[in-house]
Amino acid sequence: MQRRKNKPVICCNSGFPAHLQLLKDKAIQYNEQTLEKILTNLNKEEIQTKDWNAYKQFTPEKVMSIFKRVFINNCYNIVSGYEFYRICKWSFCPRYLARLEPNNIKHNDTLFLNLDYFGHLLNSLRNYPPANKFVLISHNSDQKFTEAHFNAIRHYVSHIYAINCVFQHPMITPIPIGFIDSKYSDHSKILNIEDTKLSKEHLLYMNFVITTNPPKRNECLSVFQNQDWVLKEKIYHQNCFILKSQSQNMYYHQKGQELIVIVYMNHCY
C-alpha cells in the first residue's frame, strides 16, 4: 500500500525493527505520549509533496529477479560452505577468492565469512566503515557464533546466517553445515554420481562429533548411540540415512547413490 499510494507510515520501535531499518528517515515514529499529537497535526498538503516510498528496492520485479538468480539459476543439489560462498558478492575466507571493498558495499549485499578471520574482518570494517549494511553468512569454521560476535558486528549487518550458532536473536538465522569442502573441491564427484543400485546394509550412520556444540549433540547422541541399527563407522554408501545433529539442522537420505538433502530446522529425531 505504501508503495502504490505514496502514504507515510506511522509506526513504533517495538520487536524486531526491520520496518525502521527499511523506512529510515521516512518513518513517523510514535509512542504513547506522541501518537495523538501526530494524528491530529498531520498536514495533508505537506504529505502530498514528499516521496514516502521506502520500498523501491522491493518491487515484485526486483524481488523475483533475486529469487531467480539465487534459487533457480544457482540451483545446487548439496549444502556446503562452497555453495554459500557462490551466492555471495563479497568473501572473507582464505579457501576461496577473497574479495571485499567496504566502500562499495551496497545495502543487503551478501558477505561470506570464515569465522576464524572474524577479527580481521572487524578491523577492515572499522578502518573503512561501509555506508550500507550487509547480510553476513558465516561458514567453514568450527568456532561457535556467540553473543560476543553478534555484538561486535551487529551495527554493520542487516541479518546474519551462521553455522554453530549458540546465541539466539531475531537478526540471526542458523544454517546447516552440509558437506565439508575446500578451495580444492567443488563436489563434482558427488553431483555426478550415477544412480546405481547398491545394497543398504545399515539404516542410519551417525555423522557428528560432540565438541562443537556439546548440549545439543549430547542430546542427540543419547537417543541413538545404543541402537543396534545405528552405524558409527564412516561407510556412506551402505547407509539409508546419514544423521546430523540438531545444531547442523539437516540430514541426508541416500537413494542409490543419489544424495537428497533435506533441511530439518528444529529437531534431529
Q: How confident is the model at residue 237 (pLDDT cuts 50, 70, 90)?
A: low
User: Which pairs from 2-9 meet CB under 8 Å and 24+ separation?
Assistant: 2/52, 2/53, 2/54, 2/55, 3/53, 3/55, 3/56, 3/58, 3/59, 6/51, 6/52, 6/53, 7/47, 7/52, 8/47, 8/50, 8/52, 9/52, 9/54
68-126, pLDDT tens digit by residue?
Answer: 665 555 555 567 888 899 899 999 998 888 899 999 999 999 999 999 999 999 999 99
176-185, 243-252, 260-269: least confidently modelled range:
260-269
- What confidence score (pLDDT) does residue 42 get? 87
* Residue 57: Cβ within 10 Å count: 12
Tell me the pTM.
Answer: 0.53
Kindly report the average pLDDT of the chain as a whole number. Answer: 77
Specify whether the CB–CB gap between 12 and 22 falls below 8 A. no
Q: Return the H-helix or E-strand segment holding 219.
A: helix 214-224
